[in-house]
């Protein structure tokens, strides 16, 4: 498949973006050994916290495939097949869908390894529990050997909500992603790329990266993010 965008860095490391459905593109890619992604949370119809419909005063942008976890259920085995051994998968998930998300990846063959928490520094909307964090589930494919770099389980970084909403409603801070990428080496895969912060983090670290995004508007944003010479502080 022809890339939507391809960038060759000075160190020879390539950043590649594919526009399309990851379920169709993943089988055509070469093996990688590290996947960091932020898939649809399956919370599109939830209320009371982490319901996407309530974003931006109830009139926010929706995420394709966010109604439930069916897209992720189909994608999980393809992600597993595309990761070599030993390899890492780290995925964001909603606290209210954590157990279901974990089971999908375990059913695909991954071994659960642990959890990372992104502390946003401020609570979101909702009631009963107002979430001020997002969870990342960490999975391993193959032997869980000791890695050269250890990462801290709680990553704290606030975000500029207004600036983020102008790009992608659930964009993650590049600084957090750079910390997480230090867990492993080699090419980084993000099958749910969004506006491209994982690819930008990989570029900043001198890593090769592959991103897949189903919405072209976010592919355009990712290209702009990659072309920035320096990133403003999050």
- 126-142 tens-digit pLDDT: 778 888 899 999 999 99
Q: Are strands 133-141 and 111-119 parallel, antiparallel or unpaired?
A: antiparallel
Per-residue pLDDT of 22-63, as tens digits, reads 999 999 999 999 999 999 998 877 765 554 444 444 445 678
User: What pLDDT does 228 receive?
Assistant: 87
Q: What average pLDDT does range 111-125 have in this prediction? A: 89
- The fold for domain 5-227 equals Rossmann fold (3.40.50)
Task: Check the CA dihedral 29-34-38-41 and report its sign.
Answer: positive
Which is more confident, 201 or 123? 201
For the chain, the average pLDDT equals 87
Per-residue pLDDT of 211-233, as tens digits, reads 999 999 999 999 999 998 654 44
**Tokens for 43?**
């919370």
Distance CA(87)–CA(64), nearest Å, equals: 28
Per-residue pLDDT of 144-168, as tens digits, reads 667 778 889 999 887 665 555 667 7
Share of the chain above pLDDT 90, in %: 63
User: What pLDDT does 61 receive?
Assistant: 62
């Amino acid at each position: 498949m022809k890339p939507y965008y391809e960038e060759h860095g000075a160190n020879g490391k390539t950043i590649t973006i594919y526009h399309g459905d990851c379920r169709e593109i993943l089988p055509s890619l070469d093996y990688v050994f590290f996947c960091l992604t932020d898939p649809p949370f399956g919370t599109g119809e939830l209320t009371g916290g982490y319901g996407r419909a309530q974003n931006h005063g109830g009139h926010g942008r929706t995420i394709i495939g966010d109604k439930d976890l069916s897209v992720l259920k189909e994608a999980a085995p393809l992600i597993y097949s595309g990761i070599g051994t030993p390899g890492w998968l780290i995925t964001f998930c909603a606290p209210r869908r954590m157990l279901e998300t974990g089971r999908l990846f375990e059913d695909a063959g991954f071994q659960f390894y642990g959890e990372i928490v992104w502390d946003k520094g401020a609570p979101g909307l909702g009631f009963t529990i107002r979430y001020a964090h997002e969870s990342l589930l960490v999975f391993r494919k193959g032997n869980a050997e000791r890695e050269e770099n250890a990462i801290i389980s709680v990553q704290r970084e606030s975000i500029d909500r207004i600036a983020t909403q102008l790009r992608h409603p659930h964009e993650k801070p590049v600084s957090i992603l750079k910390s997480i990428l230090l867990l492993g080496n080699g090419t980084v895969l993000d099958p749910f790329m969004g506006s491209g912060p994982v690819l930008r983090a990989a570029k900043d670290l001198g890593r090769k990266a592959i991103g897949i995004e189903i919405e072209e508007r976010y592919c355009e944003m990712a290209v702009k993010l990659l072309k920035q010479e320096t990133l403003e502080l999050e």
